[in-house]
Structure 1
Amino acid sequence: MIDDDDFKAFQEEMKGVKPLKTKKKVEVVKDKVPEPSLIHRRQMAVTVESGHDNHLTEEIIDLVHPLDVLDYRTDGVSLGVYRNLKRGQYPIDARLDLHRKKMVEARREVFQFIKDCQKYDVRSAIILHGKGELSEPKAFLKSCVNTWLKQIPEVLAFHTAQKHHGGVGALYVLIKKSERKKQENKIKYNKGRVE
C-alpha cells in the first residue's frame, strides 16, 4: 500500500516530465545475404527438382584446420556407441581414399560410398581425406568431408581416426542400418513373442 506522503513526493518529482513518444509500428530490417543454411536448403531444393540424387553442397564449406579433430553425433547415437567409434573399436568394413581427388570427384565418391555402405549393410567405415596441410585453402578436402557427412541422413556419427588408422587425416564413420537389416532384426528378436 502506498503512503500518501510517498505518493505526493513522487508526484512532486515527476512534475514537468513528459511521456516518450514511440512509433506505433515495428520496423523489421532483413539481412540482404541469406544465412548459409538457407542457401543450402535452396540449393538442395533446386537439386532435387532437377532430378539429381546427390544434394551435397559445393559452395558452403565450413573450413577446418589441418590438425583439427572432427566429431559429429546425431541424437539417436548413445554415448557408449560413440565412444567405441571414437576409439576405433568397431571393425572397419569399408574404406574410401580421397587423396589427390578434386572436390567434384570427392563429392560424388563420398555420396556414393555412404549409399553403397548402407546398401551392403556396412555399419562402420573409414574415409581417408588427408590433413591438407599443402592444399589451398588448407585442409580443404577435410573441410568438405566434414560438411558433407553432416548432410547425409544415413551418417549417424563420425570421429577423427586413431593415429594407427590415419589420425587427423581420416574419419571413422558410423552408418545407419538399411531398412532390410532393420526388418531382419525385428523378425529375429520378435520370434517367440506373443502379441
Structure 2
Amino acid sequence: MADKDSDLFFEEMGDVKPLKSRDKAHIDAQKVITPGHLVRRVTAVTEKTVDDNHLTSADHVEILKSNDVLEYKQDGIQHGVYKKLRMGRYPVEARLDLHRMTVDEARKEVFRFINDCMQYDLRTVIILHGKGDRNPDKKALLKSYLAKWLPEMDDVMAFHSAQKHHGGTGAVYVLLRKSENDRQANRERHGLR
C-alpha cells in the first residue's frame, strides 16, 4: 500500500520543477542607525520611570486578621461626620474592587482611584479589599496594606470598615477632602466668605 502511495505521489509531482535560486526574495534589509535611534536606545536603558505614587510598597506592614476593623480620622474631623461615615449613612459615590489583585497592583489602583475621585469632586467612596479568608494562610494582606496606605494620602480625611450590607470588614468607607470648588459652594450656601 505504501508503494502505491509513493508511486502516486511521484506521478503527480512529475512535472514540478524546483525554483531557481535567482527567484528568491532577499529579506536582508539594510538598517541605518540614525542619531535618533541611538538616543532612544540609551534613554530606554538608562532612564528610570518616575513613579509619583508615594504609597508604601516594601515596608513592613502589620498583618491584620479578617475580622479586624479599620478605623482612622484626621484631627479636626467632627464626631458626627465620622459617626455618619462609620454607619454608612453617606451615599457611596464610587467603588474600587481590589479582589484578586497583587499588593503592587492594588497599590497602583488605590493611588489612581483616590486621585481620580479628587479630580471628580467625590467625597465618600468604598474600597473592597476582601477579608483574606480564602488565602491559604488566612492573612488579610490587601486589607493590611490598605490600612497603611490610606493615612499616607493627604486627601483621605477618614475611613472605617463598612457596614455588613456593604461588605463588612472586607470593605472600607473612605471620606475624602472637599475640593476647593465644594468648599466655595459650601461657603456661598451658608453665606460665608
The answer for unaligned runs of 5 or more in structure 1 is 1-49
Deviates more, 1:69-78 or 1:134-143: 134-143
The answer for unaligned runs of 5 or more in structure 2 is 1-48
Cα drift, residue 154 of structure 1: 0.3
Match of 2:151 in 1: 150
Deviates more, 1:133-142 or 1:121-130: 133-142
**1:160 lines up with 2:161 in the alignment:** yes
Cα drift, residue 96 of structure 1: 0.3
Paired letter, 1:114: I
Q: Distance in 1 between matches of 2:149 and 2:139?
A: 17
Secondary structure at the counterpart of residue 130 of structure 2: coil
Match of 2:107 in 1: 107
Q: Which has the larger radius of gyration?
A: 2
Mapping of residues 82-97 of structure 1, within 5 Å: 82-97=82-97
Secondary structure at the counterpart of residue 139 of structure 2: coil
Number of residues of Structure 1 aligned to a counterpart in Structure 2: 143
Cα drift, residue 186 of structure 1: 3.3
Secondary structure at the counterpart of residue 68 of structure 2: coil
Q: Distance in 2 between matches of 1:145 and 1:66?
A: 13
Give a deviation string over 1:21-40, Cα, whole Å, max 9, x none.
xxxxxxxxxxxxxxxxxxxx
Secondary structure at the counterpart of residue 83 of structure 1: helix
Mapping of residues 1-195 of structure 1, within 5 Å: 51-60=50-59, 61-135=61-135, 136=137, 138-190=139-191
Percent of residue pairs bearing the same amino acid type: 52
Paired letter, 1:160: S
Q: Give the RMSD, CA atoms, in angstroms.
A: 1.8
Give a deviation string over 1:6-50, Cα, whole Å, max 9, x none.
xxxxxxxxxxxxxxxxxxxxxxxxxxxxxxxxxxxxxxxxxxxx8
> So what's the TM-score if we normalise by structure 2?
0.69
Secondary structure at the counterpart of residue 106 of structure 1: helix
Q: Distance in 2 between matches of 1:52 and 1:134?
A: 31
Paired letter, 1:178: S
